[in-house]
Structure 1
Amino acid sequence: MPPRRPPPPLEVLLLVCCLLVFASYLSSYMRIPVVPLFARELGASTVLVGLINSAFLFMAGLFSFPLGVYSDRLGRKPLIIMGLAASAASALLLAASSSPLQLMGIYALFGLSLAAIGPTLMALVADISRPTHLGRSYGWFTTALYSGMSLGPALGGWLAQTLGFRPLFVVSALFLLLVIVLAWKYLPGETIAPREAHLPDWSQAIREVKGNRHLLGCWLATLGGCFALGMFITFAPLYFHDRGLSMTQIGVVFAVQGAVNALSRIPLGRLSDAVAHRWHQGVAGLLLVGASIAGFGLSHTLAHFLTAAVFLGISLGLAFTALGALIAEVVPLKSRGLAMGGYNTCIYLGMMASSALMGSVIKRLDFTGSFLLTGFFLFFISALFYLMVKGFSPPR
């Protein structure tokens, strides 16, 4: 029998994970700005377009947790490949769709596919990283992820304008099939870090979560931070327009926030490895998220909004590089898929909750009051997070 090849260096595996998450989110998010226009072309009303997008967020949030658990049982690689295959299938189905209701079902499948990809890749990054380098590993990983999420819509819009809706969906599917080949070839067949072969039953898994206040605190912080992000993504364009900003200026504000968010993650990941306790950085980041969101409510000019966008990008990077690494530390190795699944569930449900609830609040309080209220809500979440994680100190 030929000798077994040694696994690649951990740095190479981290690079593979970063390239895969960039490519998978780039190809998946090509369709994000296009599907609403495609749905309208098929006769969907504005309300139905919103329901189509809600189906995506709901399924991504609902299944991130259980699929994260199953990645602990089945292994990371099979679930990642199945998620990529489901995403490619959803793109091909979009190309063949003919009604808004079909789009809703297809977008539900799309949400399910990202629920399989996101938390599983995050758990794999934790598996292959040294404990002293978790922060910088997540800094590189989330930079790649957010870069794919930022460039995908721009590429998709250009391709849709050049080729049309249906050819774009085919291109997205072909790109994802290429990513599947790369994942099959370069991802390790099993997690490098030692793990137990079997996962406890669901009741035991739930007991582990209920008894882990540090994990629950991290999930709560994630939910709160993404509630604020959902407020920005959903309602800031309307607020900026009311303040007199043009569509181009609104795009610039969003681009600045996204660029600062992505680029800050690598140095802030290194910072989370250097500080004595990661949760200190998490608390500071959440407080700054609250102040930034409140700052939008007090802004009146383009310069004000750009300043708030810069601080929001930095604060999200500060909070979430620490949270991602901290979640990997507060659970045993065999439960990292579960922990990252819950983390991704909180991301999607936080944004979904903000989109669903804050519209009614804005009717009562106006935009200024609602952004200020969201900021104070983040201060409250920061305090709860502090109380739930204070004193935690993992071995380094």
Structure 2
Amino acid sequence: MPREPLSTTARWALTSLALSMLMPSLDTSIANAGLPILATAFDATFQQVQWIVLAYLLAITTLIVSVGRLGDSFGRRRLLLIGIGIFTAASLCCALSPGLGWLIGARAVQGLGAAIMFALTVALVADAVPKARAGSAMGLLATMSATGTTLGPSLGGLLMASVGWQAIFLLNVPLGLLNVWLVYRFLPADRASGPRVPFDYSGSAVLMLTLAAYALAMTLEGLMWPLLLASLCGAGVFILVEMKAQSPLIRLSLFSDARLSSSLALTLLVTTVMMTTLVVGPFYLHRGLGLSSAMVGVTLSVGPLLSALSGVPAGRLVDRFGAQRIVPGALLGMACGCALLALLPMSLGLPAYVLPIMLIAAGYALFQAANNTGLMAGVSQDQRGVVSAMLGLARNLGLITGAAVMGAVFALAAGDPTQAPATAIASGLHTTFGVATALMLLTLIISRVQATTRDSVNTAQPL
């Protein structure tokens, strides 16, 4: 049965959301390739310029849930316009930075704008397109996210080499101005809501400090355990604060719904596994298979590129067959890819590495489209912002955890990856993806429990 085409207004509204996902995704990775250039420009050490990346990621991680909740009460379209404005203005400040401290501060403010854009873009899909096209829209947003992250390093390197480091930030100014106009012109105005509820400042502050402690624990090796303990205590304090709050940042009753709890757990585990491919891959390709740096870069782009190309087709499959049918198949495909890498003989060379990576990437694209569509379809209007933000938070925490924990597993199994021989690197890859396979089997169990719970409840209430 042919689908009804989108109206012109809906197409432009979806374009605005796609751009709102592309811009912050691009800036997640665009500065990475230029860290050596930035270190020279500001006469700084590598550890110092790393904060250009960390400040942005920390701001997103700590603020995304709070701004998502604020969007539910303040107006999602209105707050998205503000977020794009903050992101654009901060990008200009980054380009005009006279010193490293100024640049790091501007990147943190840019992260605030990015947090708003990440938190509200998915939540606004229901207002932009008909329900029957939600899966395709989610697939497009997944494509934009993967495209931005994949394109960032190469585009950043090209702009820095040809124009200068300021260009990687100035790029956002015309894009941001265009996006402000698109959102203002084509996204539906915020619906009138009931009485304005007070914002949970206490819960927001505790959650931000807790998430900051966890994120820093994953990046500062010397302080890992004290910061992990602090984040655990912070989580306990946050629960107590939310139990007493008049209008809590996150309604704790949400977690009693299996759809939300399982979707967040699946997102965290799946993104942890996806980050594993980016942590282990460069060492296996360079030191294990002996590829040149150029070939390593090309090979590493295969997975993200396939995820980007698979996003829209994955969304169409979700629209046709339903999210509940797609999620288990996507997880099974990723599990099989991880298992193949865990058993990979080095003698089979590059093709034996690339094919499982392609299987993992395609499964990830399917999972994102199906999981996000299935969850957001059951969310009430007044909770879309915070639930969308929690999905973004689970993704960010998965990426941080994958880089730290799975990187530690690889280093433990292979020794120092920068010095280890090819055989040790191969052993490290097998061990790390053995752990990744176990994580994917856990996702299949969670998915099965979710399906069983859903089948036992004939009429699920909105979150």
Normalization by structure 2: what TM-score? 0.75
The residue aligned with 2:54 is 54
The residue aligned with 1:245 is 291
The separation in 2 between residues aligned to 1:351 and 1:225, in whole angstroms, is 9
Is 1:308 the equivalent of 2:353? Answer: no
* 1:73-114: CA deviation from partner (whole Å, max 9, x where unpaired): 122222212222222233223223344444433332232221
The residue aligned with 1:347 is 395
Which of 264, 267, 276 lines up with 2:313 in the alignment?
A: 267
Matched letter for residue 294 of structure 2: T
The separation in 1 between residues aligned to 2:45 and 2:306, in whole angstroms, is 35
Give secondary structure in 2 for the equivalent of 1:264. helix
The residue aligned with 1:284 is 329
Change (3 A) 1:136 1:120: same
Matched letter for residue 58 of structure 1: L
The residue aligned with 1:125 is 125
The separation in 1 between residues aligned to 2:391 and 2:401, in whole angstroms, is 15
Structure 1 unmatched ranges of 5 or more = 1-6
Q: Which structure: larger Rg?
A: 2
Q: How does 1:106-121 map to 2 (within 5 A)?
A: 106-121=106-121
* 1:296-353: CA deviation from partner (whole Å, max 9, x where unpaired): 3444321112212211221111111101101202321221111100000111111011
Is 1:374 the equivalent of 2:373? Answer: no
The separation in 2 between residues aligned to 1:12 and 1:146, in whole angstroms, is 21
The residue aligned with 2:230 is none
The residue aligned with 1:386 is 448
Count of aligned pairs: 385
The separation in 1 between residues aligned to 2:59 and 2:328, in whole angstroms, is 29
* 1:218-269: CA deviation from partner (whole Å, max 9, x where unpaired): 0111111111122122332122212112222222222221221112122221
Contact 1:30–1:153, Cα closer than 8 Å, also in 2: yes
The separation in 2 between residues aligned to 1:180 and 1:338, in whole angstroms, is 22
Change (3 A) 1:108 1:238: farther
Q: How does 1:87-166 map to 2 (within 5 A)?
A: 87-166=87-166
Is 1:219 the equivalent of 2:233? Answer: no
Contact 2:276–2:407, Cα closer than 8 Å, also in 1: no
Change (3 A) 1:241 1:196: farther
What is the root-mean-square deviation in Å for CA atoms of aligned residues?
A: 2.8
Change (3 A) 1:236 1:155: same
Worse-superposed segment, 223-232 or 151-160: 151-160
Between the two structures, name the one with larger relative contact order (CA 8 Å, sep ≥ 6): 1
Matched letter for residue 31 of structure 1: I
The residue aligned with 1:32 is 31
Which of 392, 406, 410 lines up with 1:362 in the alignment?
A: 410
Matched letter for residue 448 of structure 2: Y
Contact 1:66–1:338, Cα closer than 8 Å, also in 2: yes
The separation in 1 between residues aligned to 2:298 and 2:263, in whole angstroms, is 31
Change (3 A) 1:382 1:344: same
* 1:163-184: CA deviation from partner (whole Å, max 9, x where unpaired): 1112443343343233323333
Structure 2 unmatched ranges of 5 or more = 1-6, 199-245, 415-427
Tell me the CA shift for residue 115 of structure 1.
1.0
The separation in 2 between residues aligned to 1:195 and 1:215, in whole angstroms, is 24
Give secondary structure in 2 for the equivalent of 1:123. coil
The separation in 1 between residues aligned to 2:45 and 2:136, in whole angstroms, is 44
The residue aligned with 1:3 is none
Is 1:321 the equivalent of 2:320? Answer: no
Worse-superposed segment, 127-136 or 385-394: 385-394
The separation in 2 between residues aligned to 1:384 and 1:306, in whole angstroms, is 28
Worse-superposed segment, 306-315 or 168-177: 168-177
Normalization by structure 1: what TM-score? 0.86
Tell me the CA shift for residue 116 of structure 1.
0.4
Contact 1:39–1:103, Cα closer than 8 Å, also in 2: no
Matched letter for residue 319 of structure 2: D
**Percentage identity across aligned positions?**
22
